């Protein structure tokens, strides 16, 4: 509401005092000095001039937030513009293409956005530059993601984003959070009992990714851990021939036979399994955090037409994610390091998490976030486990998943004879 107010008397302008003049001059000098500092921060003279190239897999973040961050960098660093070159999105093909590019001549790649499992391989092959720890606040990063950047006592990368699988539930048929695999099996049995023709709701229990690619290795590790076993123990010894590990493998086979696991899972990718769960035919979905937006997002995302709950897996998840490393043959190593620092700082991590759906590598982002499942995801990341740390991990994964996939499609409850020896050979870089 407006009111009439009396005019205030305006005093005549006073002559500035000598102190005021000096103060103004000092402020002007400080402002100019600050401007110089900002310019130096934006374009450090020690950086090598030229374009920076990041080799990466597909940007799956909502709204392509990785590219948005690169755009922000380019606005501030016109002497070192950056761009992303994407390789094939399947993890195994992605690794092969990155290896070829990193080993090639010409130094046309500056930064590699590597799956966390492949840092040892690239480091062992002398394809990465070790990173100085100057300016790295170890306490700011979550320990698990940061540990994936290390190999043989040296730091080779910084964590760009991390990942831990979550359990999505159809709340109309799975209102409670199962404490372990046995509790989940009990809930599924209750839904699947009786005459299928008279049954309402989901017709299978769990949807997951059991296709013959890296996701099957991940699911196999998690199934064995859920049964109390190990595929490879903390000392690097293969233990897949233990009774507990065998029980975990059989749980996958039995689940496909009795409907506790969607029989189509051996052909599913992450996107396909999300679509199958969205159709309402399953009680549970094991998938990465990006599935949350696909299931609960806007109409364009085709959200699920039912209520969804999200929790940690009832067992340890594999720790996923990507790390940013400087290519050994980069012609711009100092500028590349500055870009890595920019992409992994708190502001960038917050953008990737809150806008893009990627799991952040800094704990403070989860604590300050309004994202509904932030605390659940933080706990999942903190309890996640690493895949075997070996420069021959790719061969190990291939041998393991080929054997397990054969078990799944043939419904054979017994692991192939000699699987443990084959895996030991693979960890030495040999195919038995």
293/418 same-domain check: yes
Strand 282-287, strand 150-151: pairing: unpaired
Whether 313 and 229 share a structural domain: yes
Residues 189 and 291 placed together within one structural domain of the fold: yes
For residue 38, tell me if it sits in a domain: no
Looking at the fold, whether 213 and 107 belong to one and the same domain comes out as no
Residue 256 lies in a domain: yes
Of the candidates 294, 320, 334, the residue with the CA atom closest to the CA atom of residue 380: 320
* Cα gap 103→259, rounded to integer Å: 46
Instruction: Confirm if 217 and 259 have CB atoms less than 8 A apart.
Output: no
Tokens of 35: 């401007």
Instruction: Confirm whether 19 is domain-assigned.
Output: no
User: In terms of domains, do 203 and 256 share one?
Assistant: yes
Could you give the CA distance from residue 264 to residue 251 in angstroms, rounded to a whole number?
A: 16
Distances (CA, A) of 95 to 26, 92, 119, 337, 432: 56, 5, 11, 22, 22
Residue ranges making up the domain that contains 241: 165-318+389-427
Give the rounded distance of the alpha carbon of 387 from its chain centre. Answer: 14
Give domain status of residue 182, yes or no: yes
* pLDDT at residue 31 in the model: 43
Other beta carbons less than 10 A from residue 98's beta carbon: 24
- Same domain flag for 304 and 399: yes
The residue to which tokens 């594999």 are assigned:
318
Q: What is the predicted pLDDT for the residue at 206?
A: 98
- Tens-place pLDDT, residues 343-400: 999 999 999 999 999 999 999 999 988 899 999 999 999 999 999 999 999 999 999 9
Residue pair 312/184 in contact by the 8 Å Cβ criterion: no
Does 297 lie in the same domain as 250?
Answer: yes
Q: What is the pLDDT of residue 387?
A: 98
pLDDT in the model for residue 94: 86
Evaluate whether residue 314 is within a structural domain.
yes
Q: Return the higher-pLDDT residue of 43 and 241.
A: 241
Same domain, 230 and 346: no
Same domain for 86 and 157, yes or no, is yes
Residue 43: predicted pLDDT: 55
Residue 70: give its domain's CATH number.
3.40.190.10
Q: Edge-to-edge strands of the sheet including 111-115?
A: 82-86, 52-56, 111-115, 319-326, 158-164
Domain count, the chain: 2
| Alpha helices, H only, 279-332 | 290-296
Residues 301 and 344 in one domain: no
312 found inside a domain: yes
- Rounded to whole angstroms, the Cα distance separating 85 from 125 reads 22
Neighbours of 384 (CB within 10 A): 24
In this structure, are 274 and 368 located in the same domain? no
Are the C-beta atoms of residues 171 and 410 closer than 8 Å to each other?
no
Classify residue 28: in a domain, yes or no: no
* Percent of all residues in the chain with a pLDDT value above 90, rounded to a whole number: 78
Q: What gap in Å lies between CA 49 and CA 294, rounded to an integer? A: 40
Q: The whole model's pTM is what? A: 0.87
Q: Are residues 169 and 233 in the same domain?
A: yes
Residue 159 CA to residue 146 CA, distance in Å, equals: 6
Mean of the per-residue pLDDT values for the chain? 88
């Amino acid at each position: 509401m407006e009111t009439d107010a009396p005019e205030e008397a305006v005093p005549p302008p006073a002559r500035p005092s000598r102190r005021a003049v000096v103060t103004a001059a000092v402020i002007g000098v400080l402002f100019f000095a600050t401007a110089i500092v900002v310019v130096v921060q934006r374009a450090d003279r020690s950086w090598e001039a030229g374009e920076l190239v990041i080799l990466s897999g597909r940007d799956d973040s909502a709204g392509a937030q990785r590219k948005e961050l690169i755009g922000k960098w380019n606005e501030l660093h016109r002497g070192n513009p950056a761009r992303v070159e994407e390789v094939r999105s399947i993890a195994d093909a992605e690794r092969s293409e990155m290896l070829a590019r990193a080993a090639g001549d010409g130094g046309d790649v500056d930064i590699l956005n590597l799956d966390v499992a492949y840092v040892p391989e690239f480091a062992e092959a002398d394809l990465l530059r070790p990173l100085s720890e100057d300016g790295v606040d170890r306490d700011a990063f979550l320990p698990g993601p940061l540990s994936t950047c290390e190999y043989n006592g040296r730091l080779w990368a910084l964590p760009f984003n991390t990942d831990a699988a979550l359990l999505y539930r159809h709340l109309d048929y799975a209102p409670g959070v199962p404490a372990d695999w046995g509790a989940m099996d009990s809930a599924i049995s209750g839904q699947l009992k009786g005459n299928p023709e008279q049954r309402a709701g989901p017709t299978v229990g769990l949807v997951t990714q059991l296709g013959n690619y890296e996701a099957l290795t991940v699911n196999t590790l998690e199934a064995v851990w859920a049964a109390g076993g190990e595929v490879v123990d903390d000392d690097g010894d293969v233990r897949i021939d233990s009774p507990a590990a065998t029980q975990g493998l059989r749980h996958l086979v039995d689940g496909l036979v009795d409907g506790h696991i969607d029989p189509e899972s051996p052909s599913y990718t992450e996107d396909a399994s999300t679509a199958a769960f969205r159709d309402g035919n399953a009680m549970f979905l094991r998938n990465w955090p990006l599935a949350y937006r696909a299931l609960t997002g806007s109409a364009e995302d085709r959200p699920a037409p039912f209520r969804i709950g999200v929790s940690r897996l009832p067992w340890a998840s594999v720790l996923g994610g990507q790390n940013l490393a400087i290519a050994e043959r980069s012609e711009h190593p100092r500028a590349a390091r500055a870009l890595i620092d920019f992409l992994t700082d708190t502001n960038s991590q917050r953008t990737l998490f809150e806008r893009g759906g990627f799991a952040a590598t800094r704990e403070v982002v989860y604590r300050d976030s309004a994202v509904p499942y932030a605390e659940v995801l933080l706990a999942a990341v903190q309890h996640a486990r690493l895949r075997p740390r070996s420069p021959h991990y790719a061969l190990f994964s291939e041998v393991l998943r080929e054997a397990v996939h054969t078990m799944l499609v043939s419904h054979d409850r017994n692991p192939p004879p000699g699987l443990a020896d084959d895996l030991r050979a693979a960890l030495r870089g040999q195919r038995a």
